[in-house]
Amino acid sequence: MHYIAHPTAVIDEGCTIGEGTRIWHFTHIMPDCVIGEDCNIGQNVVVSPKVKLGRNVKVQNNVSLYTGVECEDDVFLGPSCVFTNVINPRSAVARRDQYLRTLVKKGASIGANATIVCGHDIGRYAFIGAGAVVTKEVPDHALVVGNPAKRIGWMSEFGHRLQFDPEGMATCPESGDRYQLKDGSVQRIP
């Protein structure tokens, strides 16, 4: 075992957990999960069967990750955020064969208490504000807030809001990286 788990964590058989990962108090990791290297899974987290987490994913306390969720590398999931996996749940109707996939792409951050409705992917380096309810696809680098979540700006890979000049160019104040806004999407200029 090359990961660390608190004694109160429940880790079911059949999951794969990467080296250097830390799993904290009262967390339940269910069968057939794949958790990458160097992840941090906070306390009271539920990771349902077949969830996939890439490398260096940070999952804060009280997060629910249901079957169908996949997070790429370097994703941040804020406290008490939640993902759904069925679009029209009913207690009396079994829909386990209707779970929808939600992909959270590399470097995205999801704020505290946000809800991600299933079947809507979150773009690379997107930033979901605290309490937002995501009901549609979120583009790369987008900053979205509210219920339903709406795009109000764009974010750098370092998590700073980008201010574009009239030519559609912006510079991250921390990294100095340059970004271009063109045809409604943002890309970092290599």
Residues in CB range of 171: below 8 A, 6 or more apart: 177, 178, 179
Residue entry with tokens 């991250």: 172
Is 146 in the same domain as 165? no
Query: Whole-model pTM?
Result: 0.96
10 band by pLDDT with thresholds 50, 70 and 90: very high
Is 37 in the same domain as 98? yes
Is 59 in the same domain as 128? yes
- Residues 138-150: what's their mean pLDDT? 98
Pairing of strands 178-182, 185-189: antiparallel
Q: What is the pLDDT of residues 35-45, one digit of tens each?
A: 999 999 999 99
Is 96 in the same domain as 145? yes
Is 45 in the same domain as 115? yes
Residue entry with tokens 């109000």: 152
| Residue 154 token pair | 């764009």
Is 12 in the same domain as 30? yes
Question: Angle at CA 142, nearest 5°, toward 116 and 156?
Answer: 125
